[in-house]
Amino acid sequence: MYRRLLINIYQVRNGLIHTQNTRLPSTKCKERESFAPVIWAPCTARPLGTSSISFSENKENSTSLSEDKEKRPEENEAKEEVNTDGQKSTEISNATLTLQLETEPVDKPEDSKQVEKTKSGKESLLELLGAMKVEVTTVRKIRPSKTPRMSERPDQEPMESTHSMFQHATAKGSQQQGTLNPALVAAVSAAASTLPNRHQAESELLKQLRKHEAVPDTQRRADGQNIGHIIADMKVGGRKTNGRSSARPTSQIRFDDDGKGYTQDRGITGELDAVRRRKSPFTSKRLNIFTAGMEQDTLSVLGPTLWDIDLANQIVQATNQAPRNGFEEMIQWTKEGKLWQYPINNEAGLEEEASVPFHEHVFLEKHLDESFPRQGPVRHFMELVITGLAKNHHLTVQQKKEHIDWFRDYFRQKDDVLKEAEA
């Protein structure tokens, strides 16, 4: 959809191109030239979005074109304000972006209508494009400074460098023709010092850089002249421009007027990205011996064999098992069983009794069976005993039973004494 909208916009703009500053379209095509559709989308979407907003508003208002004309300058001013705000906080400019995005789906059916309208209202479009220009330049100025240097994706980096390239193109273009940026020279000598014969390497690198400096300069001029052709090419689609970007040898050191691009290219991220872009050997073809969902014939598993134990032992021997702090030592002791485990709930240490319900502990009358007298002092005593046992949380049920059994034996032995006392 972006592409289609873009083409529309370019069709429109093509007619107006002579009134425009030539630099703006040239940036546009530069951007398109180097990058994949995903990335150019945000930039191209913005001017589009601006127009689409105004058009959607047109629709809402359902006013005549003349009214629109009156309204639009105001709107564009508002946009400008937003964009200058954007210099301070990129969030706002982003917000407008999202806003535009949300309106875009609404636009889609209007595409054709839009073109017609724009053609009829050339004047308003002129204003609109003026607003766009402001936006483009301001955003550009913020971006390179705000952008974190590290980049995750390969595509961003060239993007950034082209931004900065054009940002500085007019400012610095002329003054740097003869000399190289001192920072760049410093970087070159630093790089050269890592190589075996530094002087030769340094001079070679510098020579290379000068050559590249010359190239973008001439290219830029050529771009300026051929801008009409390039825009004409744009209508055809991205195919040709892609060819152009690949015409630039990747092995060459990319030169930027602001000298930033070079340093960004150094370091491992660039190389890594290059690697990532290439196919990773880890995703290479497989041997195709096994089938993925293979079911294993279940063998009788007899628990760990001597070999398994030895393997585990070897692993433990090979790795570093020394504790690094007191807690790790305690973990080790816990695993060995030397340390009472750190309580993680209220049942810590209750393994033995975990399966015993509480009533087994509390209701012990059932153990006072017929071996005890039904009534009398012995019975009374034993009731006191089980009350005490019921409240004792230190003994297990088994121990409580043993306790009662001990009394049972005791009273049985003392049977004659009890009888004598007529208890």
Partner 1 sequence: MASSCSQALRHHVCKSSRILRVHLQKAWPNRSFVLNSAADQQPAVSSPVEEIVIPKKKTWSKEAVLQALASTVNRDPTASDYRFQDDPYLTPKTSSEFKLFSLSQESGRNAAKYFISTYPKYFQKDYAQPHIPCLMPETLEAQIEEVSEAALIERIQMRKVKAAVDLYDQLQQAGTPVSLDVTNQLLDLICFYGDCDPAQENVPEQRNEETEDVQDEPQTKKGRASKASDKLKAAWKENNNAERIFALLSEPNTHSYSALIRGMVKYGAYSKAFSTYTDLLNNQLKADVSTFNALITAAPEVKEKYNEKWELIVDLLKQMAEQKVKPNLLTLNAVLKALRRCGTVGKSQAFPVISEMRALSIDPSLASYNHLLSIFYKPGAPFQGQTDILQEVMNEVSGKSFTPQDPDDAQFFITAVRICLDTKDIEQAYRVHELLGVGENWRLLGNDFQQNIYHARFFSLLCMMENIDVVLKWYRDLVPSVYYPSSNVMRDLLQVLDTDNRLDLIPQIWKDLKQLGHGNRQTLVEELLTLMAREKQNQEVQETFAECALDIKKMYDTGDRGKVMMSWTAGSLSDLVSVLLAAQRRQDAWEILKLFKTHNRVPSEELLDKFLTCIKESGDVNQALELVQISAGFCLPGTPKLIQRVQQEFLLSEQQKSMLSDLEIQTFNSD
Question: Minimal distance in Å, beta carbon 178 to partner 1?
Answer: 32
Question: By rule CB under 8 A, what count of residues binds partner 1?
Answer: 96
Q: Which of 7, 253, 330, 418 binds partner 1 (CB under 8 A)?
A: 330
**Identity of the residue, 123 or 329, whose beta carbon is nearer to partner 1 in the bound complex:** 329
Helix (H) or strand (E) holding 261: helix 260-265
**Identity of the residue, 90 or 226, whose beta carbon is nearer to partner 1 in the bound complex:** 90
Cα atoms in the Cβ-side hemisphere of radius 13 Å centred on 131: 26
281 lines the binding site for partner 1 (CB under 8 A): yes
Give the span between the Cα atoms of 54 and 149, in whole angstroms.
36
Distances (CA, A) of 10 to 28, 286, 405: 10, 48, 102
Q: Which of 247, 287, 354, 421 binds partner 1 (CB under 8 A)?
A: 287
Q: What is the DSSP letter of 95?
A: H
Question: Minimal distance in Å, beta carbon 126 to partner 1?
Answer: 21
Q: Which of 66, 307, 357, 391 binds partner 1 (CB under 8 A)?
A: 307
**Identity of the residue, 351 or 416, whose beta carbon is nearer to partner 1 in the bound complex:** 351
320 lines the binding site for partner 1 (CB under 8 A): yes
346 lines the binding site for partner 1 (CB under 8 A): no
Residues 8-67 that bind partner 1 (CB under 8 A): 38-39, 41-42, 45, 53, 57, 60-61
Identify the sign of the CA torsion 161, 163, 166, 172. Answer: negative
245 lines the binding site for partner 1 (CB under 8 A): no
Q: Which residue do the tokens 């050339």 mark? A: 122
Q: Which of 87, 170, 200, 341 binds partner 1 (CB under 8 A)?
A: 341
Give the 3-state secondary structure of residue 36.
coil
147 lines the binding site for partner 1 (CB under 8 A): yes
Q: Which of 211, 240, 276, 380 binds partner 1 (CB under 8 A)?
A: 276
Give the span between the Cα atoms of 311 and 66, in whole angstroms.
86
Burial class (CB in 10 A: 0-12, 13-18, 19+), 250: exposed
Alpha helices in 341-391 (DSSP H): 358-362, 377-391
**Identity of the residue, 13 or 163, whose beta carbon is nearer to partner 1 in the bound complex:** 163
**Identity of the residue, 78 or 362, whose beta carbon is nearer to partner 1 in the bound complex:** 78
Binding mask 62-101 for partner 1 (x = CB under 8 A): ------------xx--x-----------xxx-xxxxxx-x
| Total Cβ atoms within 10 A of residue 131 | 23
Give the span between the Cα atoms of 12 and 122, in whole angstroms.
9
Residues 347-386 that bind partner 1 (CB under 8 A): 349
**Identity of the residue, 164 or 231, whose beta carbon is nearer to partner 1 in the bound complex:** 164
Nearest to 378 by CA among 402, 419, 417, 411: 411
